Structures are given as C-alpha cells and as structure tokens.
C-alpha cells in the first residue's frame, strides 16, 4: 500500500529507510504509555481482585483475568466491521477512552460481574488500540521493509514496558494504593485519548485501499482456504506455539536447572534485555533483505527455524552446565523472537491485494492467540507428562520438527513480488 503521509526525500536511501514522523509520533505517544501501564497493572490485578471479592471468590478472579486476556488478544474480531468505518484517530481515541472508563469502574466497584465485564471491555480497548496503531503503520509506509521497522519499534517498546512496568506495579503493591493507582491510570488514559491520536492525519480511514469490508468470523475459513494465507498461517501458528513455551515449559525448565529465584528471574530479564538491544540491528538486516527482494514468507520461516534451534538447549539438566545451556537457549530464542514477531505483522499485512487492514491484523491476532494458547497448553501438559516419564527430550525434538515443517511452506522462488516492487519504487525515488 502506498501513502503520501510523509514527503519523499530527494535522494531516498535503500540502506537507511526512515519511518514517517507521524508513525514515530503515534508509537511514542500511544504505545509507550499503553504498554507501560498495561504491564504495571497486570502484576497487581490478581491481588486487587482477590481483595475486592474475597479469597472465596477465586473463580471470579480467574474469569476476570481470562476475560481481559482473551479480549486483549482477539477482541477486534468481534468489531471488525465497525473499525473498518472509523478513522485511525477515531479508532485510537475510542480505544484509549474505553480503557480509561473501564479501569475507573474496576477501581470503584466490588461487584464480580461488573469487574468481569469491565476487564473484558478493557481488553477490547487494548486490542482495538493495538490494531489502530499497527494499521497506521501499514497505511503510512510504502514497503515491507519500513513496515518491519515500525513493528520492530513496537516490539522494543513492549519489551521495555514488560521489564519496567512490573517495577511500578510492585511499588504500588508495597504501598497498598491499588484503587488510587487504577484511578490515576484511568486519568492518564483519558488524557492520552485526547492527545495521542493527534499524531495520525485527520481523516485517514482504516478502510483506505480496501476493496471490500472485513470479514468477521469468516476469516477462520480464509486462513485455511486461501493458498497464500494458508502458508503464512501454518508458519505463524508454528512460531506462536514455540513462543508460547516461554511462560510454560521454559518456566519449568528454569525451576529445574537452578533453585535460585534470582537466577530464574535473570533468565526472563536476559530475554527482555536482548530483545531491546538487538531488535533494531536485526530489523536493519531484515530490511536490507526485503529491499533486495527477499520473500516475506522466507524471512518468517527463518524466524521460526531460529526459535526451533533454541529448543534442544532447554533439555538441559540441573547444575552449572544446565544453566549455561539454558542461557544459550534464551539467547538463541531472543534472536528468533526479534526476527519472527515484526515480520509476522508484515506477512499478514501483505497477504493479498486489497484486503482490509483491520482484517489482516485480525488474522494475525487470531493466529497468534491460537498458537500461543496451544503452546502454553503443550508446555504445561504434554511437557509435564513426558518429563514425568523421563522423556522430556522427545518434547524438545518434537518442537524442532514443528519448526522444520515450516520449510515446506517456502515459495519456489526466493523473491517476493511485492518486496521487489517496493524496492524498485524506492530506487526510482517513488517511495515514501
């Protein structure tokens, strides 16, 4: 998709593309705020809900957290047609305002059903907001390489927020200021709802360039029936299964190789720090490959294979050697994450010509939700069962096979028509 949102430079650079200033502005004004506050609230939310509802209402707490998680992952699937008719500004503004209202409700009510509905609505707000920002990146950039850079920036922001947000949440936890904190978060989101969308041009619609309205639940059929989309879906699901291991089987491995809580925490911190440090250098390499005509599907599969290459390292036993091997596994996994996550958005964004941008992002969200959910279940169920019979190595080898099967989805040619076209456009001075 082409865009005139930013002026074309007189001498465009193939090696050093620049994102439109408006894209950087929206990522800065919106994502830094929303991601940081999301990861700040999540650590204290279960405790807050338990205090509000009482220890005997654990089921309601579980349902409330599940509702938030489910709607955060796939909420836009239920409002795709509505979003298609909104502007980028309207989409982001409504989403942030919805989060502000729902957090205020959570702060002031103790009714279990109201809390469940409020957190489900908050999840919908986060989902819509993420779709609006990612859609703007697609609409505001003219080539896959620039899109990949924009999504890479979101990945960096998310990892920084995941590292710093819980610190803020812990401070709140220590002081018992749960409700006051939620009301403060609500106020900040309300201010953001007014100011952050200003980074997007007035009147830029989410249906720009679309040939038809987005499908709702019908995208489930599309993910399977459309040949090109089917290949992307397979690779994306496989990669998401591997990503789902991080908070399931990996957690069990971290506990088995060391008894030190600090060391176990450092494994997670290493992943977050590495992603923040290497995401942009890795994305620059990916951009050069895309601009040289590399297939988006090929890079997606490479990301999955790197994730798969990390899996055998997690079969390590306890002791110093186990710690070293797991550390190597985390490092390789982090490299795979920096390739896989940004290109996943690009792959679905450019699956077919004329596809509504909301629909493309819903495809991505749905595939990730299914894959990561399956991955978490496998890590907590299948892995546990096999480990109990001393067959844990079979599990890790199975994940390697899952990654290797993605090689079957590679195109016969090594180039992608869209990527080549974009590269030629840039070289001729007709890019952004």
pLDDT band at 5 (very low <50, low <70, confident <90, very high): very low
Q: C-alpha dihedral over 165, 167, 170, 174, to 10 degrees?
A: -140
**What residues does 286 pair with on adjacent strands?**
none
Q: H-type helices in 196-243, by residue range?
A: 219-225, 227-243
- Answer for the pair 213, 84: CB distance below 8 angstroms, yes or no: yes
The C-alpha atoms of residue 195 and residue 188 are separated, in whole angstroms, by: 11
Taken in order of first residue, the domains within the chain and their CATH numbers are 19-202 (1.20.1250.20), 209-432 (1.20.1250.20)
Q: What confidence score (pLDDT) does residue 13 get?
A: 39
Q: Among residues 146, 142, 139, 125, which one has the least CA distance to residue 33?
A: 125
Nearest-angstrom CA–CA distance, 357 and 97: 22
Give the residue-averaged pLDDT of 167-183. Answer: 81
- Convert the pLDDT of each residue in 346-372 to its tens digit: 999 888 667 788 888 888 888 988 888
Mean of the per-residue pLDDT values for the chain? 84
pLDDT top residue among 68 and 425? 68
71 φ/ψ angles, rounded to the nearest 5 degrees: -70, -30
Q: Is 399 exposed, middle or buried (0-12, 13-18, 19+ CB in 10 A)?
A: buried
Q: pLDDT, tens digit, for every residue of 234-289?
A: 999 999 999 989 878 998 898 889 888 788 878 888 888 899 999 999 999 999 99
- Residue 384 neighbours by CB distance under 10 Å: 15
Query: What span, in angstroms and rounded, lies between the C-alpha atoms of 23 and 140?
Result: 7
pLDDT score, position 423: 39
Q: Are 99 and 122 in contact (CB under 8 A)?
A: yes
The per-residue pLDDT for range 386-395, each reduced to its tens digit, is 988 888 899 9
Residue 143 is classified by DSSP as: S
Return the residue matching tokens 């865009």. 3
Compute the distance between CA of residue 125 and CA of residue 72 in angstroms, rounded to an integer: 7
Which residue in the block uniquely carries the two structure tokens 């679905």?
A: 348
38-51 pLDDT tens trace: 888 887 788 788 88
What distance, in Å, lies between the first and last C-alpha atoms of the chain?
11
3-state secondary structure 340-353: HHHHHHHHHHCCCC
According to the model, what pLDDT value does residue 99 have?
97
* Helix, strand, or coil (residue 50): helix
32 contacts 161 by C-beta, under 8 angstroms: yes
């Amino acid at each position: 998709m082409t865009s005139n949102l930013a002026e074309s430079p007189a001498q465009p650079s193939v090696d050093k593309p620049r994102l439109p200033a408006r894209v950087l502005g929206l990522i800065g004004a919106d994502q830094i705020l929303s991601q940081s506050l999301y990861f700040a609230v999540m650590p204290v939310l279960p405790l807050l809900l338990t205090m509000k509802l009482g220890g005997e209402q654990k089921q309601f707490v579980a349902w409330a957290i599940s509702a938030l998680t489910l709607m955060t992952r796939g909420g836009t699937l239920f409002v795709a047609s509505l979003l298609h008719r909104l502007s980028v500004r309207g989409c982001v503004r409504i989403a942030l305002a919805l989060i502000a209202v729902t957090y205020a409700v959570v702060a002031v009510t103790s009714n279990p059903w109201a809390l469940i509905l409020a957190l489900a609505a908050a999840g919908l707000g986060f989902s819509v907001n993420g779709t609006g920002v990612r859609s703007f990146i697609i609409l505001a950039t003219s080539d896959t390489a620039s899109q990949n850079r924009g999504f890479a920036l979101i990945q960096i922001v998310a990892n920084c927020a995941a590292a710093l947000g819980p610190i803020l949440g812990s401070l709140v936890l220590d002081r018992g200021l749960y409700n006051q904190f939620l009301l403060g978060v609500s106020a900040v989101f309300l201010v953001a709802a007014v100011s952050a969308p200003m980074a997007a041009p007035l009147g830029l619609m989410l249906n720009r360039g679309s040939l038809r309205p987005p499908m709702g639940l019908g995208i489930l059929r599309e993910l399977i029936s459309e040949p090109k989309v089917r290949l992307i879906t397979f690779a994306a699901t496989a990669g998401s299964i591997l990503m789902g291991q991080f908070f399931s089987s990996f957690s069990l491995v971290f506990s088995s190789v060391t008894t030190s809580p600090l060391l176990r925490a450092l494994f997670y911190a290493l992943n977050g720090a590495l992603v923040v440090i290497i995401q942009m250098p890795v994305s620059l390499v990916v951009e050069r490959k895309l601009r040289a005509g590399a297939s988006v599907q090929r890079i997606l599969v490479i990301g999955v294979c790197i994730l798969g290459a990390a899996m055998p390292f997690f079969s390590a036993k306890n002791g110093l050697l186990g710690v070293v091997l797991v550390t190597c596994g985390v490092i390789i996994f982090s490299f795979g994450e920096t390739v896989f996550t940004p290109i996943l958005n690009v792959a679905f964004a450019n699956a077919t010509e004329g596809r509504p941008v909301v629909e493309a992002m819903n495809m991505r969200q749905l595939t990730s939700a299914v894959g990561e959910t399956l991955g978490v279940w496998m890590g907590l169920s299948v892995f546990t069962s096999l480990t109990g019979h001393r067959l844990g190595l079979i599990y890790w080898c199975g994940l390697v096979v899952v990654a290797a099967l993605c090689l079957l989805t590679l195109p016969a040619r090594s180039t992608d028509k869209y990527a080549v076209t974009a590269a030629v456009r840039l070289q001729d001075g007709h890019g952004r």
